[in-house]
Chains A and B, each alone.
Chain A
């Protein structure tokens, strides 16, 4: 009798956990879809009415905040990748016996409160903070009226810092798994520096990323104000990219190590992009009213204005945008990279 009921055992074990997830994750999301199509107020109660106007409002009323979310979230993801990849690489290949200590230091920030870390950045980036004291007052790198706090630069800096560990950990996991015999084989087969193709790819990538940062942070635009600065910044970052691509990056890295780390690249960027695009704490504490992101609108509508239907529609649009982004990103990187394909 016991044997016949055996199929029940796993479901009995899973029942409490899965029920909790269904009742407090699936159900709330269904409730939110219904809410996004409802009309009414908190006082009189909401009624479901196929009110698609909420979506129209949500999409048309907040173009600046949508733009900020996409731009800041996207820039933060690119920058965390540029910092996170060499860091993960350094720990995985050069960490030696300090690997675990280094990894522990990467996650150490998680042991303090998210808010307190952001407050620390507010101190560091402040008008009388140490960064401006060195860069502006001592080295005179920037004009005397230059500020960081309450600008897009501060918001993106905060996002990059907060989500860097989310990028490093998956990258480290996939780099750590790289079979070192493959690297040796590549070297035995005369893989050298990436040289000319490296310089071209690195130069182009550097120029594009540098330009995107300048435009995204509002320091210059093509044809408008700050065009000269945009061009100089793009050229400089292009030159830096070319030097890195041509001299520092080897063929072994391009053909062996990087392709094997693609699952980590995928996981790391998703884990960074999702919380970055939905964040509102950095925009609130480090930015100004013009740098608000869509998260600020959602939390304001929910917690201050009690405009639940519009807020629910906004949340649902955010969720949809993230799913679409993941889908295209997965397509672009290829399923082979995702499944660990050749790495397996």
Chain B
């Protein structure tokens, strides 16, 4: 830290000049950079948020025609009657149901895999790793299309008698199967990242003190990795409730909220879509804020409880 420029508040910029060799071009670039980078960051963030503002604003719109694309007059009508379109309520209920169930199943299955990957040495680790990675690198349309091919394949024997017709015709159950599938990899990766910094000595200490593997897991390991599991579950839920492409291929005649939006958009676009979209947005943000507060509190408690 001999360089005074490096300790100044703006030293993070690549263009900051070293104090040793002042030059006009350098200080010009540096001073532009000093302001430009934060400005650009703010503008880019505003750009990312603009469609959200539009969504919220247009939930208060009374559009001139059947499509909520142009501004008419301010109205609370859609908020007063958020399910005022046939099938919309059922679609939202389906979305929430698929979101909760697929999150629960994928989080349990994924956490088990993450545990095995971080705590045990075994052969075939590379193969398991690519089985987890490849689904995340596959375009959604390919995943959706291949699942549809599989499901349609079970309409014919011998697969038909084997599956008992559960996978065809398509419905909520096939959406669930698909959502659990694409969520598993994300859960594994998230939980694993959280477990990487895990102190194994805590478990060893518990075992030394006479705890068996079962109670060591539930009393030591699980509370420590719980925030990671929560983060994975939140990610899985948001991926599931937002998914359109894979759901479009696996839903048959059932609706989720995105599917309902997609099928209505050719004939009309009621402001109710923006109302429900805004509600989901506010709800999701609320969930994240609450879980962050809870995590911070539990981190503080565990720090406070640790003997000095």
- Please list the residues of chain A having a beta carbon within 8 angstroms of any beta carbon in chain B: 7, 9-11, 13-14, 16-18, 20-22, 24-29, 31-32, 35, 42, 45, 83, 86-87, 89-91, 93-95, 102, 104-106, 108-117, 119-124, 126, 128, 161, 164-165, 183-184, 187-188, 190-193, 195, 247-250, 252-253, 257, 270, 274-275, 277-281, 285, 295, 298-299, 302-303, 308, 311-312, 315, 318-319, 322, 326
Contacts and interface: CB of A to CB of B under 8 A. Distances in A.
B204 interface: no
Contacts of A250: 14-16, 29
A110 B52 CA distance: 10
Given A13-B113, A113-B242, A192 B17 contact: yes
Given A89-B14, A105-B45, A187-B16, 19 more contacts: A7-B122, A25-B134, A25-B135, A28-B146, A32-B149, A32-B150, A87-B41, A90-B37, A110-B238, A114-B242, A120-B55, A123-B70, A190-B20, A247-B25, A248-B15, A250-B29, A281-B245, A318-B142, A322-B139
A190 B112 contact: no
B142 A248 contact: no
13 contacts: A10-B116, A14-B113, A25-B143, A25-B181, A28-B143, A87-B40, A105-B48, A112-B281, A184-B3, A192-B18, A193-B15, A312-B149, A319-B138
Contacts, number: 283
B258 interface: yes
Contact of B149 (A18, A104, A165, A308): A308
A84 to B, nearest CB: 8
Chain B interface, DSSP helix/strand/loop, else mixed: helix
B40 A120 contact: no
A302 B69 contact: no
Contact of B181 (A20, A83, A90, A165): A20
B178 interface: yes
Contacts of A281: 244-245
B149 A21 contact: no
B145 interface: yes
Nearest 3 CB-CB pairs, A to B?
A: A90-B41, A278-B139, A120-B51
B45 A116 contact: no
B52 A108 contact: yes
B231 interface: no
Contacts of B36: 248
A28 B143 CA distance: 8
Contacts of B50: 120, 124
B261 interface: yes
B249 interface: yes
A64 to B, nearest CB: 18
Contacts of B26: 192-193
A165 B242 CA distance: 15
Contacts of B196: none
Contacts of B226: none
B140 A275 contact: yes
Given A21-B185, A116-B277, A86 B37 contact: yes
Interface stretch (B5-13, B79-87, B299-307): B5-13
A203 B123 CA distance: 52
B267 interface: no
Nearest to B156: A45
Contacts of B280: 111-113
Nearest to B245: A281
Contact of A86 (B41, B49, B70, B156): B41
Interface string B237-271: 01000101100110000000110011001000100
B205 to A, nearest CB: 21
Interface in B101-137: 109-110, 112-113, 115-117, 119-120, 122, 128, 131-132, 134-135, 137
Contacts of B115: 13
Given A11-B122, A247-B29, A302-B249, A21 B184 contact: yes
B52 A109 contact: yes
Given A108-B49, A111-B284, A184-B1, A123 B58 contact: yes
Nearest to A127: B70
Interface in B275-304: 277, 280-281, 284-285, 288
A27 B131 CA distance: 12
B51 A24 contact: no
A128 B69 CA distance: 9
B277 A18 contact: no
A55 to B, nearest CB: 15
Contacts of B44: 83, 86-87, 90
Given A14-B128, A308-B152, A24 B25 contact: no
A254 to B, nearest CB: 9
Given A9-B120, A17-B112, A302-B249, A31 B146 contact: yes
Contacts of B15: 193, 248-250, 253
